[in-house]
Structure 1
């Protein structure tokens, strides 16, 4: 989409919201808008023989969120808008393909792109309905937001908190728009393929106690897979600024239709001990069955060992994670945080035979300015190293500058 056209559409959307707001006080009073600026440098070096040299690009993104309130009455109505624009700052035909920018017709990346998403919404009590462009995260389907602008869905979503201690959710998606795409496309399953325009899901979370939440979901990507998910999150207070958080997840998946035979059971657990400004975590993940873990291509899988690059969800794979987090606030540097983790996977069934093994190491250093003229400006460095005897060997660095400005 042409940049000028994108800006005009965004302006029209904002004007439309303002005019409607003048007619309905609640619609206006509860509305909000902001623009998020993201400057992303992405470098991925491929280390195995016979691979391309690297993917290396730099881009600037703008994400405008406009959210109305609701009109008065038993049923309140509203509208949201999501505008996204991306600029290429540095790239080349030989180093394109980072996912920051759409591809051009010559093997490189487009200079700029833009997209606009509109969402109609209605609310009854504590139940909310949305239709149109959707951006949300859920155990069975999650929007990916790890590039210049987020990935979105097209469909309908309902959420409800009318029942005490319950959060219910259900929805239907018929198209997906990738981070670096301006077009909605059909859906497929990661590592499995297939094409579908029908993804349905539903379930809920039950807060059994203030420290214990139980979750259940069902999802179906028509003609490709069906999936059942169950989860448990419990936090045990240990006193003196200490706690132990247990995050357990289980899913079972099988085929839907005749596209491919699917059989997967995924079990994962992550246990985090927090003391003061430090957190120590250990996790385990195991794939059972004759298939890899299925999830919608382009979305994020809800797995404890899905990290910066890998998901450790191959056939029969088992993997372990260790992680360490530190918040520098107690050292007098509020806004500075550090994270490092390591995941090792083995027992992978390889098509060529033998045991597949892989490992990944991540490190994040982030800082958000706390005061002064640059308040809320964030900078993050993300580093990853991956080694595998059946996939890519690569080193990756991402440098992200971000700032969110409230429009009103």
Structure 2
């Protein structure tokens, strides 16, 4: 069977690394390795709902392929290994007047989406005891920096990351990032903040973040560190620090407690606080408070959340990433200057009534008190989300997943949106 260029690239990278290792050390490297390929078919339609808008809607359909490889480690006090990821995105349907969904890169001039795009990333890793150092392509999922995977292909980063679990219950993370490859790109670029100053309009918008005169506005250095301690099976606390050089510094604390009530009943408390300040070239000044309380009963979950922004600006984070906020949802993050927001959420897992693989979620988020400047009225927004997903449990379609995501948002300071996403995915383990 012939292999695609994507498959050959990942395989050759792993083979090249293994050939440099002493023969006596290769057993665990090979035996503990694993590889998989994920097929992701993605349709997205975003209706902007405004007469006279520059673009009436964004609508595209694309096919993605994600090939992942993770090796084991060589034998010895220090074990060495390699991970690799190869991605390919193919355009199935798009046009210049409907591009811009985030599924496909597009030409900034004529707005035409590319026919295909791909990326290959490799990560060297070394392990001593329960500590692992990775250098290369990274997909971090930490409060200070979390790679986004909500479109066709995932966002990735370049840098180094140390994870240590030498003390029982304690996890330590530290590292540095210098480049980002966004989800609709195949280029590694410097990092920027989300929704900050708009050079075309000269406005900082409802986020309220501005740059000082002469500031470049991007950065090639993000430093992060974090501690997480599991006190009991029910209680975990974390502290994380992140700094995007010249742009912002951030301290994040989090407490998660799960209280067992009775059989198939629990009450979860998730408390978050973040303090963000400038790092020389901006006016970032924000305190973000968040709380989410969830009561679970059999297959049902009922959640209530509250989020509050205070300070001279809204919340700062790297553009395109997932911010560590309880009210960050499908479209909005409800993190504008002085914004206060609440959330009501309901989840149901149909496995509790004999239909494993079927899940449902709906939520409503409302935000107000947004500072739009002295000349404008108070900013308000709301968003409603619904997710329905099913993963086939048996038969010829086993492990095939189908998900429909619907969102509606209304606001008095930017476009109203109606959005639908249909995602069909299948992951095949190669070995």
TM-score of the alignment, normalized to the shorter chain, above 0.5: yes
Q: Which residue of 2 aligns with 1:214?
A: 237
Offset, 1:8: 4.0
| Distance in 1 separating the partners of 2:70 and 2:20 | 12
| Distance in 2 separating the partners of 1:200 and 1:46 | 37
| Distance in 2 separating the partners of 1:85 and 1:21 | 30
Helix, strand or coil: the match of 1:232? strand
Offset, 1:332: 2.0
| Distance in 2 separating the partners of 1:20 and 1:407 | 24
| Distance in 1 separating the partners of 2:338 and 2:6 | 46
Whether contact under 8 Å (1:214, 1:233) holds in the other structure is yes
Give me the CA root mean square deviation.
Answer: 1.5
Q: Which residue of 353, 360, 365 corresponds with 2:376? A: 353
Q: Which residue of 291, 298, 309 corresponds with 1:276? A: 298
| Distance in 2 separating the partners of 1:243 and 1:279 | 9
Q: Which residue of 2 aligns with 1:375?
A: 398
**Which structure: greater strand fraction?**
1
Pairwise mapping of residues 303-382 of structure 1 onto structure 2 (< 5 A)?
Answer: 303-351=325-373, 352-382=375-405
Offset, 1:49: 3.0
Q: Which residue of 239, 249, 252 corresponds with 2:275? A: 252
What stretches of structure 2 of length at least 5 have no aligned partner? 198-216
Could you report, residue by residue, the CA deviation over 1:173-212 in whole angstroms, capped at 9, with x for unpaired residues?
Answer: 0011100111111111112352111100101101111100
Could you report, residue by residue, the CA deviation over 1:132-183 in whole angstroms, capped at 9, with x for unpaired residues?
Answer: 0001210011000000010001000000110121011011000111001111
Offset, 1:16: 3.2
Distance 1:28 1:8, change over 3 A: closer
Distance 1:239 1:188, change over 3 A: same
Offset, 1:333: 1.3
- What is the TM-score with the length of structure 2 in the denominator? 0.91
Offset, 1:12: 2.0
Pairwise mapping of residues 2-401 of structure 1 onto structure 2 (< 5 A)?
Answer: 5-16=5-16, 19=19, 23=23, 24-51=26-53, 52-104=55-107, 106-192=110-196, 194-257=217-280, 259-351=281-373, 352-401=375-424
Helix, strand or coil: the match of 2:351? helix
Whether contact under 8 Å (1:21, 1:28) holds in the other structure is no
Whether contact under 8 Å (2:147, 2:155) holds in the other structure is yes
Query: How many corresponding residue pairs?
Result: 405
Whether contact under 8 Å (2:50, 2:56) holds in the other structure is no
Could you report, residue by residue, the CA deviation over 1:22-73 in whole angstroms, capped at 9, with x for unpaired residues?
Answer: 9310101110000011000000000123322100000000000001000001
Whether contact under 8 Å (1:191, 1:292) holds in the other structure is no
Offset, 1:19: 4.8
Helix, strand or coil: the match of 1:16? helix
Helix, strand or coil: the match of 1:138? coil
- What is the TM-score with the length of structure 1 in the denominator? 0.97
Helix, strand or coil: the match of 2:296? strand
Whether contact under 8 Å (2:148, 2:155) holds in the other structure is yes
